[in-house]
Amino acid sequence: MEQRIDIITIEALSHHFGDKTVLDDINLSIGKGEFVTILGPSGCGKTTLMRLIGGFLNAKEGRIIIAGQDMTKVPPHLRPVNTVFQRYALFPHLNVFENIAFGLKLKKLPREEISKRVKQVLKIVSMTDYEERDVDTLSGGQQQRVAIARAIVNEPEVLLLDEPLAALDLKMRKDMQMEIKAMHKKLGISFLYVTHDQEEAMTLSDRIIVMREGIIQQVGSPVEIYNEPANAFVADFIGESNILNGIMIEDKLVEFAGHKFECVDKGFASNEPVEVVVRPEDIYIFEVSNKAQFTGLVISSIFKGVHYEMLVTTPEGFEFLIQDYHCFNAGRTVGMLVKPSDIQVMKKERLSNVFEGQVIDDQHVKFLDNVFSCNDAGNFESGTEVRVRVDFGDVILYDNEKEGMLSGVVSFILYKGNHYHLTVSSGENENIFADTNDIWDDGDRVGISFDSSAIKLESL
């Protein structure tokens, strides 16, 4: 096997904007010649991470090592990386040739050498004969190519690409993806690519780093990330999936949606609550027969080009998304089956909301910077530090922010087959998790409160 040489190593990197933690203890390494994608929704810290590597932000906690040298405090112009910016950032006062030659001229290379190398990269990005063109006269895709050419002409150790295709239309984006992949192969340098488009990440990468709220959720090859998502977030973000709450009865036997299924996972405690992921294409759908593990009623069936996408509800009240080449029309009763190896069982990240709090008097407890009335408080001395527990189902959400004790923003919605599991960010770094049947949208501002009987206290 080939010896893997790390070209970028990041150790314990954290970053804050004011009180807000944008990156939390990031550790990762990128090998020579590797194509690594940082994937995550907007606000997950991926661009911040990129800017720290490029040197446009000062890293205060942690280390960034590029090509064996500690670059944590080195200004951007001395780092052996080049960036392709999201909105290209081509110099409007220079033409295509001068834009690409910018870095080479700074290195004081001889004129013929510059001219030769610019012509070379223009050929790589299929823009020969565009040297004299004004950058304003180029289309989005052409500007993109020039931006890439301007970066790779400097022969960096690593090419950083910050959502380079975000501004292009779908067809153009697909073409450019293929070209970028081909370019990567040809150049043999490492590419670090940032995107929020999971499909793009899948297409391009050797390795994907999935990020959320400043924390790396999972690192792995596209296949690993798709087939074995580390948690519900990754499963939901990458491709489509049915994510349900389940209980691990024993090794290789899991119960969800009211049925017991054989699976291949083991090592959980018996009856441990878990999350189960089943990809829509992994559920077999057929006429009701004795082979069926469970049955359901088709609610909708949509032709998606290659396959049909069907929504099926079971008598137990769970919804499943199923993709199959065969069409079962809405209104039909069908049988379904999932193979043991297609069931992905994941440890639950948390079973209820847990906060640090302090008992105020026999009626009240303080947590999340608010005083709540609490039936449990009488069991503790005033002033005691306690652990506060609120079940997901006991969180009350209001349309009107002002009706709640706290206000928050819905930051993540996960459909669990028969209910929604919401992540609501409140304050700078607090998350409150709620189970609800109501439909909310990402970004909704909500009021939050808890019933006095729902707040459970435990001594530390």
Partner 1 sequence: MLKKVVSFSGRRRNWVIPYVLFLAFFVIAPMVLIIYYAFTNPEGAFTFANIKKFWVHPEVLNTFLYSVVVALITTFLCILIGYPAAYILSKMESRKAKLIVILFILPMWINFLIRTLATVALFDFFRIPLGQGALIFGMVYNFLPFMIYPIYNTLQKTDQNLIEAAQDLGANPRQVFLRTEFPLSVPGITSGILMVFMPVISTFAIAELLTLNNIKLFGTTLQENIYNGTWNYGAALSLIVLLLIGATTLINREGNSKAAEEGNLI
Which residues inside 145-184 make contact with partner 1, applying CB under 8 A? 150-151, 154
- Which pair of structure tokens corresponds to residue 59? 């890293």
Structural contact between residues 336 and 285, judged by C-beta atoms closer than 8 angstroms: yes
| DSSP letter assigned to residue 173 | H
When asked if residue 89 is in the footprint of partner 1 (CB under 8 A), the reply is yes
Q: Tell me the C-alpha distance between 74 and 65, whole Å.
A: 10
Number of Cβ within a 10 Å radius of residue 391:
16
Q: Do residues 334 and 298 lie in contact, with contact meaning Cβ atoms separated by under 8 Å?
A: yes
d(CA 268, CA 259): 18
Residues 303-311: contacts with CB within 8 Å, 24+ apart? Answer: 303/327, 307/281, 309/280, 310/285
Structure tokens, 89:
């950032």
Which region, judged by CB under 8 A, interacts with partner 1, from 102-110, 197-205, 240-248, 318-326? 102-110
Contacts of residue 160, defined as CB under 8 A and 6 or more positions apart, other chains included, come to: 50, 53, 54, 81, 82, 83, 84, 192, 194
Which residue stretch of 82-90, 168-176, 228-236, 298-306 sits at the interface with partner 1 (rule: CB under 8 A)? Answer: 82-90
Helix axis angle, 170-187 relative to 140-152, nearest 10°? 20
- Asked whether 176 and 165 are in contact (CB, 8 A), the reply is yes
Shortest CB 345 distance to partner 1, Å: 44
Q: How far is the CB of 163 from partner 1 (least distance, A)?
A: 13
* Shortest separation between residue 91's beta carbon and partner 1, angstroms: 6
What binding mask, one character per residue, do residues 15-54 give for partner 1 by CB under 8 A, x or -?
A: ---------------------------------------x
Task: State which residue, 107 or 304, has the beta carbon closest to partner 1.
Answer: 107
Shortest reach from residue 100's CB to partner 1, in Å: 10
Quick one: which of 41, 76, 239, 447 contacts partner 1 (CB under 8 A)? 76
Q: Decide: is 111 part of the binding site for partner 1 (CB under 8 A).
A: no
Query: Can you point out the beta strands (E) in 119-257?
Result: 158-162, 190-195, 207-212, 215-220, 242-250, 253-256
Query: CA–CA separation, 194 vs 39, rounded Å?
Result: 6
**Running DSSP on this structure, what letter comes out for residue 350?**
-
Q: 54 or 246: whose CB is closer to partner 1?
A: 54
Q: Is 108 in the site for partner 1 (CB under 8 A)?
A: no
Nearer to partner 1, 160 or 454 (CB): 160
Q: Which of 3, 19, 42, 92 binds partner 1 (CB under 8 A)?
A: 92
Could you tell me the smallest distance in angstroms from the CB atom of residue 170 to partner 1? Answer: 24
Nearer to partner 1, 105 or 123 (CB): 105
**CB of 79 or CB of 366, closer to partner 1:** 79
| The only residue of 2, 19, 42, 107 in contact with partner 1, by rule CB under 8 A | 107
Q: Nearer Cβ to partner 1, position 38 or 455?
A: 38
Q: Which one of residues 19, 42, 77, 304 is an interface residue with partner 1 (CB under 8 A)?
A: 77
Name the site residues for partner 1 (rule: CB under 8 A): 54-56, 75-78, 81-83, 85, 87, 89-93, 102-103, 106-107, 136, 150-151, 154
